[in-house]
Amino acid sequence: MVWLFDYDLTLYGTEERCVINSLDHRISLFVQKTVGGDFESAHKIRTDYLERFGTTLAGLMAMNNTDPDDFFDFIHVPDFLTYPKKAPEKLALLQSLKGPRFVFTNGRHDWSEAGMAHMGIDSAIDGVFDLKQLDWVGKPHDSAYVKMEKWLAEKLAGMGVAYPENPKEIVLLEDSLRNLEPAHRRGWTTIFVNPTTDTPNWVDFHIPHLMNLADLKL
């Protein structure tokens, strides 16, 4: 198996929503700085861009000519952010998985890398494929999954690991159904990591929390 993990609300769960909330606050501030107006209207624009373009950044790039690195430099200032707590139990879980483990994220790599370092799980992750490597066009766009497969083939070759012949051996864990659906269409194994009880029948597995991964027979 090759394991691909989303970072936000997947490697850390909804019980630590304060982490993503701190980032979302910075994103709304950036939107406000870019478009003007009050914070509430900027928050609405942020969520509208997220829905329409897949990420807020994609909307800012399309509608406001935002430079992606300027965006991430602003939202990733550590003094304004919250990071996940130490998680030795997650380190043990990740180390127990057979096969390489990577992060596949719509953020820039420094956000997930800092978070994993705070959690103490960074040693269990073999690499991060981030939005910058995706040329700023992330999940759920089909191109992101094509690029992920190409990057994965190169990464695995460098590790001396054969690329899976069966796409089912590529496992994506995500809190977002929208981001899982293209993976399903490509034949990957999909694991929905979300406490919700609503799951479409095309999802291969549904667990409420990352730690429940140990309960699955894969």
Q: Give the tens place of pLDDT for each residue, 2-17.
A: 999 999 999 999 999 9
pTM above 0.85, yes or no: yes
What are the structural domain ranges in the chain? Answer: 2-14+85-215, 17-80
Pick among 1.10.150, 1.10.3470, 1.20.1440, 3.40.50: CATH of 17-80: 1.10.150
Which fold, 2-14+85-215? Rossmann fold (3.40.50)
Residue 156 near residue 162, CB atoms below 8 Å: yes
Q: Give the tens place of pLDDT for each residue, 128-141.
A: 999 999 999 999 99
The mean predicted confidence, pLDDT, of the chain is 96
